[in-house]
Structure 1
Amino acid sequence: MKKKILILSASTGGGHNRAARAIEEELSKLDIDCEIIDSLKFVSKVVDKVISTGYEKSALYTPKAYGQMYKFSDTDIVRKGMDKNLILKYMTSRLEKLLKEKRPDGVIGTHPFPVMALSKLKEKNEMHIPLYSVITDYTIHSAHVAKEVDGYIVGDEYVKSLLEYSDVPNSKIYPYGIPIERRFLDPVDSLAFKKDLGLNDKFTVLLMGGSFGAGNITDVLKDLISIKENIQIIIVCGRNTSLLLKVTKFLKTHNVHEKEIIVMGFTEKMNALMSISDCIITKPGGLTTTECILKEVPMIVPFYIPGQEKENLAFLLNNGLAVKPEKNLNLEVIIKTFMADPSKLERIKASMRFCKKEDSARKIALLLEEKTKNI
């Protein structure tokens, strides 16, 4: 009989679902039945709206408040109070019914909330199958550490050390990397794709703010169009339609110095866009960061959402994977230096080659196959 794995995700940003799809793709190749469940939507539309929509709105409009909430939620007093959290209790109850209905041989979560809930079931001896957690950032939060998790997949050895520091046994931690869909690494004919977009073969800057278009995109764009060097710019606004309109209006009312500039909303062509870019200006989301590392696209990070992205940025800077603009090292200086001295870009790419974790999703699928074979 075929094995069955449940993949529990959530729509708090795009990264958790993308990681889930990457794992699903590799499990299917092993002839294992798998199903992705958006855990928050399954539990309750209200819960999903409060958590998923709340995350997106606070990250976009009140990032400082979000950062303070993130920091507070990572304290012992909050962690100890989770046993009395009504939302977690309700989630645990709903997921218990899901397990009885689906009868999987194992579960893997790409978001900490469903993993926390299922860990509670295992503590009460009401769940008897393997439970694995994928951490989709280059840091940890106390919500990631749950007593009955059988294994953690993490993006780097630094994250492994953070878990060990939180008393997670070494044997439970797998530094396989954050999973990315295989198609993202498909080869791209860069010259042909540039031609299709109406671009030239010259220094190309990709500017984006994640799946929902966060960050001071127009401020960065203002800096970019003031650069006298001959560059071309691609702007991806994600699902943020108001940002798309704002950028479009901005370009109509500002002198772009005859630069080629392309503006688009959400796109499935990020693989190709990264392939033709000499550098990317973006916020440091976990999946975006991983994609940049795998594609060896040097990162410039002028903005971030306080919380996990601030810690992702620390990881990038400490490993020579990104540059952060400062008052005396502004964006114009960075771009000019990259163009005048390509070895600066090559140094970042070399660090990316050293840090990259390839075939993460495949390794996760093989691990799940191994851990469920006797069930």
Structure 2
Amino acid sequence: MNYTDKDKILILSATYGDGHKQVANAISEAVDFSLPNVEPIILDIMQWLHPYLYPVSNYCYKKVINKFPQLYSFLYRKTHARSTFSAKLNALFSRGMSSLLEILQTMNPKVVVSTYPLAAGIMSKLKEQGFIDVPVVTIITDYTDHSYWLHPYTDQYVVGSNQVKEKLISLGIDPHKIKCTGIPIRQKFIQTEPRDVLAEKYGLIPNQFTVLVMGGGEGFIGKGISTFRAFEKLASPIQLIIICGRNRKLQKQLEAVVRNSKHKVLILGFSEDINELMAVSDLMVSKSGGVTTTEAMAMELPLLIYRPLPGQEEDNAKFLVKSGMAILAKNEEDIISNIQNMLSNSIPLLLMKFKARINQTKTSSFDALDVILREANSRVTQKSVSV
């Protein structure tokens, strides 16, 4: 790994779920945009520390999520509050401090940002044992708390909502160490082309009701085609954009089924242009990942949440529904009845758009970067004073 002579911000992330990496990318993008003399470096900490174990563990994580969600839910709830069990499990997953210490000593970053909870734990442990004195900032990538995010030697926490801030305070975190900026997202979700331009690009009708269905790649509708077929029960035709991710099997199945659909259907695999697809849609049907829902909030796109993963996604769903930015569908019939109601009455959609407008911030990445820089600069000032 080669480094330049610029000051460095090390961003520790992981690809267990896409959200941690997307937040890391958002911070990196903000640095590149506003700080030409600073170099952001993103490190997938699990892949770096455990190069041989990582592919196996990542595969097992996805299988547990899709095949045994209740097992994941059990482990998540069992470790939600700090306990002997959570501490032992965290210690097992957090091995590799010496390797990370070597990276830190070689790179000498001005500040370290963790967008993955186990990375935050390792950084705290290194500081506790006196190996490092670099400022450490943790960005919580969901609208909930968990013991694995919270560590005694973290200097600053960046959170997505005041509810999470209040929860951290109730758990004994110093209020001055918590900044509510919103979950950082990339700028392409802030600035988009007009809907009619994007509709022409994707072969869609600009003024027809359009539903974006996300999560196919993670098994959201991957267990069958019944969820798609349920849309045929709608009284009038709509436009559907279905994202299958890297689930090629599902994509081929859907392509065969949609030939007889009364709806105009656009089926896509993995896409880097989700922002454009959000901008051309009236409603998103999805799970409730922290980053994806934050991107939708920034686009003022109403959410119909379906099959949130047990654990943090269930907590995210509760926050979004309580805040008025989303509706939770219990089953396929509930999806259809909600969409049918929206087709005949636009008020629920308008209310969700309004709630998203007042809850989201279009400057979350730069606000989070400001927190990071203030922490880095305060440490420099403290050292100068002590000298």
Please say whether Structure 1 and Structure 2 have the same fold, judged by a TM-score greater than 0.5. Answer: yes
Distance 1:246 1:123 in 2: 53
Structure 1 gaps of 5+ residues are: none
How big is the shift at 1:214? 2.8
How big is the shift at 1:245? 2.6
- Asked if 1 retains the 8 angstrom alpha-carbon contact of 2:306 and 2:331, the reply is no
State the SS of the aligned residue for 1:301. Answer: strand
Q: Out of 323, 327, 331, which is 2:327 matched to?
A: 323
Distance 1:328 1:251 in 2: 18
Q: Out of 72, 79, 94, which is 2:78 matched to?
A: 72
Distance 1:328 1:3 in 2: 52
Residue 232 of structure 1 aligns with which residue?
Answer: 239
Q: Out of 15, 37, 40, which is 1:34 matched to?
A: 40
Residue 358 of structure 1 pairs with residue 365 of structure 2: no
Q: Out of 289, 295, 302, which is 1:285 matched to?
A: 289
Q: Out of 210, 214, 221, which is 1:216 matched to?
A: 221
Structure 2 gaps of 5+ residues are: 381-387
Residue 123 of structure 1 aligns with which residue?
Answer: 128
Residue 199 of structure 1 pairs with residue 204 of structure 2: yes
Distance 2:68 2:146 in 1: 20
Distance 1:133 1:197 in 2: 38
State the SS of the aligned residue for 2:40. Answer: strand
Question: Any idea what the Cα deviations from partners look like across 1:202-228, whole Å, max 9, x if unmatched?
Answer: 000111117x43313533212112212
- Asked if 1 retains the 8 angstrom alpha-carbon contact of 2:144 and 2:315, the reply is yes
Distance 1:372 1:323 in 2: 40
How big is the shift at 1:33? 1.6
Question: Any idea what the Cα deviations from partners look like across 1:194-251, whole Å, max 9, x if unmatched?
Answer: 12222213000111117x4331353321211221212110100112223223322443
Residue 384 of structure 2 aligns with which residue?
Answer: none
Residue 279 of structure 2 aligns with which residue?
Answer: 275
Could you tell me which amino acid in structure 2 is paired with residue 94 of structure 1?
Answer: S
State the SS of the aligned residue for 2:246. Answer: coil
Return 153-162 or 353-362, whichever deviates more. 353-362
Distance 2:315 2:53 in 1: 27
Residue 369 of structure 1 pairs with residue 373 of structure 2: yes
How big is the shift at 1:93? 1.8
Q: Out of 238, 248, 258, which is 1:241 matched to?
A: 248
Q: Out of 137, 142, 145, which is 1:140 matched to?
A: 145
Runs of 4+ in 1 over 6 A off after TM superposition: none
- Asked if 2 retains the 8 angstrom alpha-carbon contact of 1:213 and 1:243, the reply is no
Aligned length: 369
- Asked if 2 retains the 8 angstrom alpha-carbon contact of 1:47 and 1:87, the reply is no
Structure 1 segment 344-355 matched on structure 2, within 5 A = 344-355=348-359
Cα 1:290/1:365, change in 2 over 3 Å: same
Q: Out of 145, 149, 168, which is 1:163 matched to?
A: 168
Please report the TM-score for the alignment, with normalisation by the length of structure 1.
0.93
Identity across aligned pairs (percent)? 30
Distance 2:324 2:309 in 1: 20
Residue 265 of structure 1 pairs with residue 269 of structure 2: yes
Distance 2:221 2:213 in 1: 11
